[in-house]
């Protein structure tokens, strides 16, 4: 496994095809490992898996946790090596943004909904760095977790609208045995807060079970679970079509939730079949 920290080193690395990329902000956990394992399986033993580790300042708001976001490069590299990664790109801020960028990606109207209401400008920062990483790593496929479902949807739209020559591969959310979605921010939770955070998955599961009774029943079932833990402050609970447009009739849908548990903000989502 090779570690590169400059764009020149990245470009000089052997361009083995096919190539898969997994983009992260580090603080790797089993969810990231699942992405890397899937990438390794998809490109096969003769392909190349690239991992990027970069805490992207453009996607953090002024009151968010950029400075305290966990940076654990040594353990990240151990996880990457174990997952069969060939190349790690871990640039500094000055390497990736030598100048404050004046040209960024405009993510469209969906970026102003759901997460965008609470994190204005977030998705412009996400799509800008994803676009840069796709350009620099030149992959055949890029893998993203479904836990960040709105992000995944917007990346798919960007790749389609801008005719980027890469396949976007979604990977299902990885959970703890009790249902908590894996997240780098889970380490911020106290023991009590972690127990409280389980209500997110309970709410989504209750909504999923109510799918046979229609959208109103789904939202009511989820809301009832959330009201049982008032210390968890809900930013939004939404039921959308798979492309995050409005739900129209029966079929597949996606339920999304964002909440604050103590000082930690968590998101989760689940696929629901409406009948």
| CA-wise closest residue to 267 among 79, 119, 47, 126 | 119
31 is in an annotated binding site: yes
30 is in an annotated binding site: yes
**β-pair type (141-145, 87-89):** unpaired
Six-digit token pair at 103? 């040209």
| CA-wise closest residue to 271 among 184, 172, 180, 123 | 172
183 is in an annotated binding site: yes
67 is in an annotated binding site: no
Residues 6+ apart with CB under 8 A from 137: 10, 19, 21, 50, 52, 89
Active-site position among 32, 106, 122, 135: 32
CB atoms within 10 A of CB 44: 8
Examine residue 18 and say whether the peptide bond preceding it is cis (omega within 30 degrees of 0). Answer: yes
Angle at 163 between CA 247 and CA 157, to 5 degrees: 20
147 is in an annotated binding site: yes
Residue 122 annotated in active site: no
193 is in an annotated binding site: no
75 is in an annotated binding site: no
Question: Are 206 and 225 within 8 A, CB to CB?
Answer: yes
145 is in an annotated binding site: yes
167 is in an annotated binding site: no
5 is in an annotated binding site: no
184 is in an annotated binding site: yes
User: H or E stretch including 94?
Assistant: helix 93-96
**β-pair type (251-261, 233-240):** antiparallel
122 is in an annotated binding site: no
Query: Which are the catalytic amino acids?
Result: 32
Give the residue ranges of the annotated binding site for (R)-pantoate. 59, 151
Give the residue ranges of the annotated binding site. 25-32, 59, 145-148, 151, 174, 182-185
Give the residue ranges of the annotated binding site for ATP. 25-32, 145-148, 174, 182-185
């Amino acid at each position: 496994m090779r570690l590169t920290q400059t764009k020149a080193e990245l470009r000089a690395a052997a361009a083995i095809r096919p190539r898969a990329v997994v983009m992260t902000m580090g603080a790797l956990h089993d969810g990231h490992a699942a992405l890397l394992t899937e990438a390794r399986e998809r490109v096969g033993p003769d392909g190349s898996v690239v991992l990027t580790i970069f805490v992207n300042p453009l996607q953090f708001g002024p009151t968010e946790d950029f400075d305290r976001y966990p940076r654990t490069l040594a353990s990240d590299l151990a996880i990457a090596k174990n997952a069969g990664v060939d190349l790690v790109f871990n640039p500094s801020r000055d390497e990736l943004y030598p100048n404050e960028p004046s040209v960024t990606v405009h993510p469209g109207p969906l970026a102003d909904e759901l997460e965008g209401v609470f994190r204005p400008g977030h998705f412009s920062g996400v799509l800008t760095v994803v676009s840069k990483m796709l350009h620099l790593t030149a992959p055949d496929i890029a893998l993203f977790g479904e836990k960040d479902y709105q992000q995944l949807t917007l990346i798919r739209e960007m790749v389609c609208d801008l005719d980027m020559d890469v396949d976007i591969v979604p990977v299902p959310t990885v959970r703890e045995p009790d249902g908590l979605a894996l997240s780098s921010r889970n380490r911020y939770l106290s023991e009590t807060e972690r127990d409280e955070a389980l209500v997110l998955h309970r709410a989504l599961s209750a909504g999923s079970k109510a799918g046979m009774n229609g959208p109103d029943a789904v939202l009511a079932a989820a809301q009832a679970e959330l009201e049982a833990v008032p210390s968890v402050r809900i930013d939004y609970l939404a039921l959308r079509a798979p492309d995050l447009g409005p739900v129209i009739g029966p079929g597949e849908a996606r339920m999304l939730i964002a909440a604050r548990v103590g000082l930690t903000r968590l998101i989760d989502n689940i696929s629901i079949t409406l009948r």
